[in-house]
Copies of this chain bind each other. A is one copy, B any other.
Amino acid sequence: MDNSFHYQLMLVHALFRARVMEHLADAGLSPGQPKILDYLRRHDGSMQKEIAYACQIEPATMTGLLRRMEEKGLLTRQIRPENRRTCYISLTARGREKCKRVEQTFLALEESVFTGISAQERTQFQNTLTKICANMTDIRGLQ
C-alpha cells in the first residue's frame, strides 16, 4: 500500500467520482455534469468563463459540456447586448430540480467519507486541505 499524497489523491478522486455516479445512477446525468450543477446552485447566472475557472476546467472543454446540458434542458446560454462575447449560464426549473439531487448526493457521500473520523479530526483535515488548495494555486513552474 502506497501512502504518498499523489497516489491517494488519485485514488480518492477516482473512488469519489465512481460513488457519485452510483448514487446518481437514475438521475440521467453524465460524469461531468454534477459539478457544474453544484456550482450553478451557488452561482446561478455566472459567465461561462467563471464556471471554467472555478471548476478548473478549460474553456474549450466547457463548450461541449454546457451544450449537452442545454440540449437536455438543464440550463440556458444567453448572450446580452452589453457584451456580445460573454455567455451567461442560468439553470432552468429542470436544472434546479437536478441540483437538489446532486446536493443530496454530495452531502450523503461526504458523511460516508468521514465515517469513523471525529469532528475535530475532520475540521483539522479540511483546514489543511484549504491550505493545500491555496498552495496549489500559487505554485507556478517551480525549479
Contact = CB atoms under 8 A, between A and B. Distances in A.
Interface of A: 2-16, 18-20, 22-23, 35, 38, 42, 55-57, 106, 108-110, 112-117, 121-122, 124-126, 128-133, 135-137, 139-143
Label chain A's interface by main secondary structure: helix
Contacts of A136: 11-12, 15-16, 19, 113
Given A8-B130, A116-B135, A122-B128, 11 more contacts: A4-B106, A6-B38, A6-B110, A7-B38, A10-B13, A10-B56, A12-B129, A16-B136, A112-B142, A113-B136, A115-B135
B12 A126 contact: no
**Copies of this chain assembled into the complex:** 2
A14 B56 contact: yes
Contacts of A117: 128, 131-132
A30 B38 CA distance: 30
Which 6 pairs from chain A and chain B are nearest by CB?
A14-B56, A15-B136, A125-B128, A13-B13, A112-B139, A6-B106
